[in-house]
Structure 1
Amino acid sequence: MPWPVWGCLALGLNLALTLLSPRAKRALVRALQKYVINPPMRLLLHLGLMPLGLALLETRGRVTGKPRRTPVGNGRQGDDFWIVAEHGERAGYVRNIRRDPLVRLRFRVGLRFHWVEGHAEVRPDDDPWALQRTLSRWHPLRALNAVTVQVMSAEPVVVHVRLAPRHGIRKTGTGSTACRNRAPAREPQETP
């Protein structure tokens, strides 16, 4: 059969699985991402070989305290970075963020990849689909990521990361020691 027919069948099965058993869909997608998709993406992003449109999110494991890296869509807009987590509150990195909101992101700035620190916040009340439309409006790779997220998601949730201060795309070191050794989060002080 031609590729478009296979694609339509896969999308039909995906829709049926989403409607009949979100739990089974979540388990299938999670296994696919964990063992097939994410390992090579993590390696390519770490080496700086990944195309535009993707980033690497580093959180601290809520149980082990070790750095955990997850490929995510590049939702950078100035000093803000937006992520739509396909599995919502059940995603490991979302649970890690709930425990420790200090994160690092590795994404392309110009021609090079940089690690940038940030403070993450899970926003369950934000509309993930409206955010995806906004992010993908002008960028074809973000549009592809938005479609992939919509196909694979069961309970999406928005994650907002405030990046290090403007004009401060700083390198925070190499490897994962910066994630392990960072200080606890401090909220910015308001001026009276």
Structure 2
Amino acid sequence: MGHYGSSRDVALGLFTVTGVAVGLVWAWWLIDPTAPQGALLPAVVSAALAANIPLTLASTRLKRALVTPVQRYLINPPVRLLLRMGLMPLGYALLETRGRSSGRPRTTPVGNGRRKDTFWIVAEHGQRAGYVRNIQRCPQVRVRLRQGWRFAWREGTAHLLPDDDPYARQRRMGRFHPLRALNAIVVRVMGSELMTVRIDLAPLSQGSKHGATIARALARARAATARSPRLRAGH
């Protein structure tokens, strides 16, 4: 990752978002009449959020090992299902990459960081994230996002930006966008090595042309995999 991942940056970001997250948890418990009775649940969540700070600072590897299964098996599946059904949670989009060895479509829920024809993502685990490694192999991707009141797939080309400041990027993305700011909180709490990803979306009129580009890129990725037995064991 880039030089923005210093301990000071990580610590400052964690302290800030943890304070906000704890405040939101207690505000929900105080305001929502359907919240569980008793303060046990918000107290436990607050303690877990507080423990996340030393864990992240002590070992990003251990943090990633603990967080990844939670994201993969508990958080992402229901969000992915809603996105596929067209019931897209506000502030989210669905990123489709190609498996770096299988070549099959792999979908990952991400924060909706679209600005005109550019789509921004801050990856929680940097170059160790599965979809980031897929992008390294094949940068041609698709993003399912809201187009007015409808949902549509947009093709695009992804670029990894390890030298971009992910914290500054999140601040710019979240300015005047409460849902993006909330997503930034989640990313910082769950993340271990933040890294910026930029996707240049193809114009809608060029969808078929870009689809052919994806097909060619996929064919090249499969051919490269066939020549490299070591990569067959990958995702």
TM-score, structure 2 normalization: 0.71
- The equivalent residue for 2:215 is 182
Unaligned regions of 5+ residues in structure 1, if any? 173-177, 186-192
Measured at CA, do residues 97 and 10 of structure 1 come closer, stay the same or move farther in structure 2, by a change above 3 Å?
same
- The equivalent residue for 2:87 is 49
- The equivalent residue for 2:46 is 8
2:97 and 2:183 mapped to 1: Cα distance?
A: 21
Equivalent residue letter for 1:82? W
1:94 and 1:109 mapped to 2: Cα distance?
A: 25
Shift, 1:6, TM fit: 2.8
Equivalent residue letter for 1:23? R
Shift, 1:8, TM fit: 2.5
More strand by share: 1
Shift, 1:40, TM fit: 0.8
Offset from partner CA, 1:138-191 (integer Å, 9 cap, x none): 1111111000001011111100000012xx27777xxxxx69972339xxxxxx
1:127 and 1:85 mapped to 2: Cα distance?
A: 12
Q: Secondary structure at the match of 2:198?
A: strand
- List structure 1 runs of 4+ shifted beyond 6 angstroms: 169-172, 178-181
RMSD: 2.0
CA contact (8 A) 2:82 2:88 kept: yes
Q: Secondary structure at the match of 1:182?
A: helix
Q: Secondary structure at the match of 1:105?
A: strand
More helix by share: 2
CA contact (8 A) 1:29 1:152 kept: yes
- The equivalent residue for 1:91 is 129
Q: Percent identity?
A: 58
Measured at CA, do residues 8 and 179 of structure 1 come closer, stay the same or move farther in structure 2, by a change above 3 Å?
farther
Equivalent residue letter for 1:22? T
2:167 and 2:93 mapped to 1: Cα distance?
A: 19
